[in-house]
Amino acid sequence: MDILKSTLGTSSQLMSSLKWITAVGALVLVTIFSLFLGQVNIPFQDVLRIVEEQIFPFSNAYPRSGAYWVIVVELREPEILGAMVIGSTLAVGGAVIQSVFRNPITEPYIIGISSGAALGAVVVLDFGITILGIYSLQIIAFTFSVATVMVVYLGAFRKGRVPLTYLLLTGIAVSLFISSFVAYLIFTNLKLQNMVWMWLMGSLAQITWTELVIAFAINWLTIFIVALYWKELDSLQLGEEYASSVGINVERTKLMLILLVTLSTSICVSISGLIGFVGLVIPHVSRIIYGGSNRVTIPAAMVIGGIFLILCEDIANIAITQEVLPIGIVTGVIGAPFFLYLLSRMAGGGYAT
């Protein structure tokens, strides 16, 4: 009996290790594979040489100029790496917000991040603000986004606490209010509509290396910190009263987690626009495959979010010729059916019915 138990134990550990190896392997493969995809057909050898020249600078593996170099280094790589870090951040943010709110249909955008950033972006585009240099839009969108979350959080304050229902409803009300202004600005400036439309649907085409360095540095750090909070998040899933009874300072933990998610998600939104679906659905995909404890959900969301958004970016690039689709269209079209399929596979159990 003991032998059976220990064998079963190891085999389930083996299964779980295999799942992780597959996921991380898939992320690496998808990243590399995506380098070869795009509107312009670049020979396999050239891509390899360009990467070699980047890894071993000035080894003269490839001339650091010319169309192919620019396409791979300045366009494809930022797009792929941007998709990776943004997919990870949105998915992890979703896992955290869903656990904190104990609500499977919430996501980071709900506390005002997206509407705030949208207002910032539209204001910059409408009034042609360039006061903060070439990154005016990103900086202002980020600032508006963080400021909106602060307004929502303070607006939900009741007697030294921030009750979740108030936070959620305040977030929705403030978001709707701000969205009306965004709609008004778009309505009154027809020239703006194309640009704003691209931004609202999300796009990775404009990402620069500077933005990438900032996003990777800050967002990976916040994901790392958030992952350390898995015990608090699991307890919060069981309710604030329960979390409090096992020793968690609920209000402080909530504030800390919301700050981390707001910071990292606002960075994403300010450089890529509003990419929907990832924050809502990837956490569920992670839970279905890896389990509901945040000990595994958060690392899984990080990997799967990255894979998912890179794949969506690939499809956005090659789906129609001579044109790049806004990535927000692809995330929904690809993600929703896949998610429905996973849900149908869960025969009973899983979610509270």
Partner 1 sequence: MQLEASGLRLNRGRFSLCVDNFSVKGGEIVGIGGPNGSGKSTFLRLLCGISAPESGVVRLDGKDMRRFPRIEIARHISLMGQEIPMPFALSVNDILRTSAYSNPQNEDRVEEILDICSISALRYRDYNTLSGGEKRMVLFAASILQDAVILLMDEPGTYLDPDRERIIFSVIEELRDKGKSIVLVLHDISALHRYSDKVCLMREGKTVGFGPKNEIMTEENLKTAFGLPFRTYDSPEGRRFTYTF
Residues that bind partner 1 (CB under 8 A): 98-99, 102-104, 231-232, 234-235, 237-239, 241-250, 287, 291-293, 295, 348-353
Please classify residue 218 by burial: count the beta carbons closer than 10 Å to its beta carbon, then call 0-12 exposed, 13-18 middle and 19+ buried.
Answer: middle
Minimum CB distance to partner 1 smaller for 140 or for 248 = 248
Minimum CB distance to partner 1 smaller for 159 or for 191 = 159
Helix (H, G, I), strand (E, B) or coil at 274: coil
Minimum CB distance to partner 1 smaller for 3 or for 352 = 352
CB of 171 to partner 1, least distance (A): 18
Per-residue b or e along 142-166, where b marks 16 or more CB atoms closer than 10 Å to that residue's CB: bbbbbebbebbbebbeeeeebebee
CB of 107 to partner 1, least distance (A): 14
- Angle of helix 250-272 relative to helix 136-155, nearest 10 degrees? 150
CB of 139 to partner 1, least distance (A): 36
User: Six-digit token pair at 187?
Assistant: 């309505």
Cα angle value 11/15/17 (rounded, 5°): 115
Residues 6+ apart with CB under 8 A from 318: 37, 38, 39
CB of 170 to partner 1, least distance (A): 21
CB of 247 to partner 1, least distance (A): 3
Minimum CB distance to partner 1 smaller for 237 or for 265 = 237
Minimum CB distance to partner 1 smaller for 64 or for 231 = 231
Phi/psi at 255 (nearest 5 deg)?
-60, -45
Residue type, 95: A
- Alpha helices for the chain (secondary structure H): 2-35, 44-55, 67-69, 77-101, 113-127, 136-155, 164-188, 193-201, 209-228, 230-237, 240-245, 250-272, 278-290, 294-318, 327-345
CB of 284 to partner 1, least distance (A): 9
Cα separation of the two ends of the chain: 36
Minimum CB distance to partner 1 smaller for 39 or for 245 = 245
Minimum CB distance to partner 1 smaller for 130 or for 249 = 249
CB of 83 to partner 1, least distance (A): 27
Do residues 36 and 42 touch, judged by C-beta distance below 8 A?
yes
DSSP state of 161: B
Minimum CB distance to partner 1 smaller for 344 or for 353 = 353
Minimum CB distance to partner 1 smaller for 332 or for 350 = 350
Give dist(CA 251, CA 86) in Å, integer: 28
CB of 233 to partner 1, least distance (A): 10
CB of 45 to partner 1, least distance (A): 48
Cα angle value 274/277/282 (rounded, 5°): 125
